[in-house]
Amino acid sequence: MKPASKTIVFLGDGMADEPMPELGGRTPLQAARKPAMDRIAAEGRSGTMLTLPEGYPTSSDVANMSVLGCDLKTELCGRGPLEAASRGLQLGPHDLAFRANLVSVDEQGVLRDYSGGQIANGDADDVIARLNAALGSKKVWFHRGVSYRNLLILSGAEFSDEMICEKPDDNQGNRVADHLPRAKSPAGEHTAATLRDLMNRASSVLHGRIANAIWPWSGGRVGAIHSLAARYGVRAAVISAVDVINGLGSCLGMDVIRVPGATGYIDTHYEGKADAALAALKTHDFVFVHVEALDEVSHAQNLKLKLKTIEDFDSRLIQRVMNGADLSAVTLAVLPDHPVPLRTGHHTRTPVPVAVRRPGWEPDGVQTYDELACPRGALGAMQGRAFMDLLLAR
C-alpha cells in the first residue's frame, strides 16, 4: 500500500548531544545555525525516538536498524554481515564477518585513534593487502571497506559468534590488552583466541605505520531481515558513504545509491548527496539519506567541527533538497541515530529528537529542532516500529 506522499529521511549520525558550559548551557544543535531543520520542526510535529534500548550494543547498526523499523530480537546480526553485504560479499553459513578497524596504538599499548588517523582509502588498500599476505589463509581473510572501516572474515564451522568484542571508539585512551575479544561461552573460546592472535600478529605486520593495529568487533553471520517493499509497499533507496548503512539498506531491499565524493567525513560531498536524493524522489517512494561526518567529529570531541558539520548538514544537504523538492508532496523527517555527547565522545542511550513535516499536517507548536524542544511535540516518545509506521503505514 502506497504512503500518502513521497518521504525523505535526513539522518545525522551522532548529531544529538547534551548542554555544554562552553555554549552557555546550550547543546550544539541549539547553538548552531540550522534554519532548514528548524523549519521542518516549526511546520511539522516533533517527538523523540529510543534507538538504543537496554540489552543491545550502543552501536550504529543497532540504532539505524531501530530507526528503519527492524526487530532487534530477531534481525540484529552485527555490523560485519551488513558491511559484507555492502561490499557484495556472499557469505556462507560457516562464515563469521567482523568489522575490523585500522587503529593507532602507542608504544605503551594504549589505543590513541580508533580511525587510524582517518586513514586514506589508498593507504588502507595497502594495509589490507599486507595483512592478507602475512595473515591470510583459507580460514582468515581481510576485505577492504572505506578508510579505517574494513572487514575480517573467519571461515569454518569451528568459529562461533559467542563473542564479546568491545567497540574501539568507546576505548580511546584505554590499554588494548584490557579490552581484548573474549568468549561469552565455551563455544567462543577458539574464536576469541584466534582474534587475539590476529591482533597481536597484525601489530608486527603494521609496525611503524600510523594505522599500526587492527580491532575486530561486531561479528556475526548472515540472517533474514525484512523487506521494506513487503512491509510497506514502497520502493526505497539509501544514500550513505559507509558500508554498515548501505549494507543494511541492501538487506532491507533498498536501492543503494553511491555518490562520488561521499567520504564518511567532513569533506563529504553534501551537494552530491542532495542532488542524488532529489533524483531518487522521482523514482522511489522512500529515500534515506545518512551523513556519517557528525559521528566522527563527535567521537573526536571537537566542538568547532561539530557546529560546522551541523550547519553543513543543514545548509548544503537539507536546505538544498527543500529548495529542489515539491514540498506539497514530500514528507520530510530529520533525526540522529543516537547521541554522541562531546563531553565523553561515546554513544548514549538517550532518546533522540525527531521532527517530521508532512503535507496537510497541523503543526504542533514546536519552533526549533533540538534535544530540549522536540520532546514537547505531539509525536511523543517513539520506539520500535513507531517511526517507520508513522511515515509509511496507512
* DSSP 8-state secondary structure symbol assigned to residue 359: T
Q: How buried is 92 (Cβ within 10 angstroms: 0-12 exposed, 13-18 middle, 19+ buried)?
A: exposed
Q: Are the CB atoms for 245 and 264 separated by under 8 Å?
A: no
* DSSP 8-state secondary structure symbol assigned to residue 175: B
Is residue 52 helix, strand or coil? coil
- The DSSP line for 88-117 is T----TTEEEEEEEEEEE-TTSBEEETTTT
332 strand-pairing partners: 8, 357
Reported as a single tens digit per residue, the pLDDT across 296-325 is 999 999 999 999 999 999 999 999 999 999
182 strand-pairing partners: 164
pLDDT value, residue 96: 96
pLDDT value, residue 1: 37
pLDDT value, residue 327: 96
C-alpha to C-alpha distance for 242 and 251, rounded to whole angstroms: 15
Torsion angles phi and psi, residue 180, rounded to 5 = -80, 160
Residue matched to cell numbers 567482523: 98
Helical ranges in 170-269 per DSSP H: 189-205, 228-232, 243-251
Residue 93, amino acid: P
Reported as a single tens digit per residue, the pLDDT across 55-107 is 999 999 999 999 999 999 999 999 899 999 999 998 988 999 999 999 999 99
Closest CA to 245 of 62, 48, 380: 62
C-alpha to C-alpha distance for 311 and 333, rounded to whole angstroms: 17
Place 394 in a pLDDT band, splitting at 50, 70 and 90.
low
Q: Residue 382: pLDDT above 80?
A: yes
Residues 6 or more apart from 281 whose CB is under 8 A from it?
6, 8, 287, 325, 330
pLDDT value, residue 224: 78
C-alpha cell at 261: 565524493
pTM reported for the whole predicted model:
0.87
Residue matched to cell numbers 605505520: 209
pLDDT value, residue 3: 44
Q: Which domains does the chain have, with CATH numbers?
A: 6-74+225-392 (3.40.720.10), 81-220 (no CATH)
Mean pLDDT of the chain: 96
Reported as a single tens digit per residue, the pLDDT across 343-359 is 999 999 999 999 999 99
Mean pLDDT calculated for residue range 25-50: 98
pLDDT value, residue 42: 98
Reported as a single tens digit per residue, the pLDDT across 101-135 is 999 999 999 999 999 999 999 999 999 999 999 99
